[in-house]
Amino acid sequence: MEFMETLISSLIIWIAPALIAWVALSSQWLNGRPYAAGKLAESIAWLGFGSATLATALWAISRHDPVVATLTEAGWVGIRFDALSATILLLVCFLGAIILRFSQNYLAGDKRQGYFFKWLCITLGAVIALVIAPGLVQFFAAWMATSLGLHKLLVYYADRKGTLLSARKKFVVSRLGDLCLLGAFIGVYVIYGVQDFGQLFMITQEQGASLDNHAWIGWLIILGAMFKSAQFPFHTWLPDTMGAPTPVSALMHAGIINGGGYLVVRMSPVLVNTPGALHLLAIFGAITAIYASMVMLSQTSVKRSLAYSTIAQMGFMLLQCGLGAFHLAVLHIVAHSLYKGHAFLSSGSAVATAKKLNADPKYIKLPQMRIWLAVGIGISIVVGLSYVFGISHSEKPGMLVLSMVVVMAITQLLWMQMRRGRTGSELSKTAIFAAGIAAIYFILAGVADSVLATSLPNNVPTWPVTEMVLTFFIFAFLLTSIRFQDGHPGFLTVAYKRRLYVHALNGFYMNTIVNKAARKMGLVPENR
């Protein structure tokens, strides 16, 4: 068994240093060899993905306890390889390799390709070091390095209008998050005398409710996650980063932005003892998801729409964390990362695709009964699948809200088909397809629950009242959104709807307010 641990740790421990080591290479030297730099970076990423895949397979076959290996006696630097870190490590390595491959064509002919590959590798290495961190010290150092590396990439085209402003807004928000996390980690070390995750989680599991006197630690961790994952009202920097190269957008939206969610999931054994902080996270996650969804629907720019989509998805992910559904949050991270990475890397073809899809857009206004029919079918599908899979919405944290979100997705799909005039057999096929997708999602949720069981706390409390309230608001938002898009008057006049659309198009002016404040503070000159 010791041999297997050594083998697994050897397969993993080299990946982050190999990427971070690019900091020692001269940017000027790399700029003179762009082809070699790109191929070397891509090769390291693919080799890292293969090594991580082999390590995961060996770990799954041989053991289910975490593999911990440290390079120092104090345990500050090393790896912690468990179900959670293995899942996210595979995801990061795969996305990193794809983005590096895409970047070689995207930046072909650019005079600073070598500089770009250098900082992309450093940032990827920092993310990997964060994912496999064995304790608080490496986690925080990698957390800081990830943010600083991303800043270098965001200002790659610093002369573009708005680029410097968005990057510096992000820099300020990130530093606030860093301060929160630093305060929380110092508090953990002072109070419990450990920085190793394994020892810390053992202490919190044994002491449980006695940690209430130190709930401020949980609050600081939650605030750090909110700053990192662009939660309302700390989100305004994200939609303004569209001046960055597309590979940077893909890396940020598919990877780095998930850092707040990963922080909450990794520290979940500590956070379950601070229910007040998790409640706050759930509330702000729900507010962010609803706000960003409204703004996203009104955007005319492909990349800006994707940015607000990311904000909404981060809100939903942290809502899941706040409700204690940590395994669902991990599943969300994986699914969202793969989707958003593809969405950004293929954003250049979005216009041509939209033209094909909307070549003959004939929509009909549906009577209200048809809308309720779509809602009823969605609810029936979810209730039926819950019965088939034996899902208890009262016992599983977050399942009630998740089920309503699935109902929301199915209803939206059926409603769109109805608006196109689909009836009878065509609508039945759509309902069957939606039921199949929902079934796959519930199956994956069960798999995630089983796989991640050893990495997540088993004493997660349930908050039925909070879930019911949030479920009601999500359902109300679903009906309001559909009625608004379908042109039903409801309680809003046509003139008010038009004004609401303009407000949503401008993000309810949050960006304008923050940008003015940032310029007055002197973050950037008035013309930048």
Report pLDDT digits (tens) over 446-473: 888 888 888 888 777 767 777 788 788 7
Please state, as a whole number, how many other Cβ atoms lie within 10 Å of the Cβ of residue 332: 24
384 and 344 inside one domain: no
Helix (H, G, I), strand (E, B) or coil at 301: coil
Distance, in Å, from the CA atom of 136 to the CA atom of 134, rounded to the nearest integer, reads 7
Domain end, chosen from 330, 350, 370, is at 350
The one-character DSSP state at 23 is G
Residue 511 lies in a domain: no
Q: How far apart are CA 330 and CA 119, in angstroms?
A: 27
Tell me: do 368 and 484 sit in the same domain.
Answer: yes
Structure tokens at 74: 């104090």
Task: Divide the 528 residues of the chain into consecutive groups of 10 and give the mean pLDDT of each group.
Answer: 82 92 88 88 94 92 82 83 92 93 87 90 94 93 92 83 80 91 92 88 73 80 91 86 83 87 91 86 89 84 82 89 88 89 75 52 60 81 83 71 81 74 72 85 86 82 75 77 62 70 80 80 65
User: What Cα–Cα distance (Å) separates residue 401 from each residue in 439, 460, 480?
Assistant: 16, 16, 18
Query: Do residues 342 and 368 both lie within one domain?
Result: no
Q: How many domains does the chain have?
A: 3
Query: Looking at the structure, do residues 85 and 123 belong to the same domain, yes or no?
Result: yes
Strand partners, 79: 69
Domain ranges, residue 268: 154-350
φ, ψ of residue 234 in degrees (nearest 5): -100, 25
Together in a domain, 256 and 377: no
With H, G, I as helix, E, B as strand and everything else as coil, classify residue 505: helix
The answer to whether residue 520 is domain-embedded is no
Among the candidates 323, 350, 377, a domain finishes at 350
Q: Same domain, yes or no, for 299 and 158?
A: yes
Q: Which residues have a Cβ under 8 Å from the Cβ of 183 and sit 6 or more positions away?
A: 220
Give the separation between CA 297 and CA 292, rounded to whole angstroms.
9
Phi, psi of 146 (to 5 degrees): -60, -45
Residues 377 and 422 in one domain: yes
**pLDDT per position as a tens digit, 42-68:** 999 999 999 999 999 999 888 678 888
Looking at the fold, whether 330 and 416 belong to one and the same domain comes out as no
Q: Which of the listed residues 350, 383, 418 is the one where a domain comes to its end?
A: 350
Q: Do both 373 and 284 map to the same domain?
A: no
| DSSP annotation string for 207-232 | HGGGGGGGHHHHHHHHHHHHHHTT-T
Per the domain annotation, does 417 fall within a domain? yes
- pLDDT tens-digit series, residues 159-202: 777 778 888 888 888 999 999 999 999 999 998 888 888 888 88
Contacts of 39 (CB under 8 A, 6+ apart): 104
Q: Report which of 131, 510, 39, 482 is spatially closest to residue 291, judged by C-alpha positions.
A: 510
205 and 315 part of one domain: yes
Nearest Cα neighbor of 269 from 314, 329, 207, 182 is 207
Q: What is the pLDDT of residue 359?
A: 47
Judge whether 516 lies within some domain.
Answer: no
In a domain, residue 140? The reply is: no
502 in a domain, yes or no?
A: no
For residue 502, give the amino acid letter: V
Which token pair is 110?
A: 């650019």
- Same domain flag for 344 and 205: yes
Residue 83 lies in a domain: yes
Is position 319 within any domain?
yes
Q: Within this chain, do residues 305 and 414 fall inside the same structural domain, yes or no?
A: no
Are the C-beta atoms of residues 66 and 80 closer than 8 Å to each other? Answer: yes
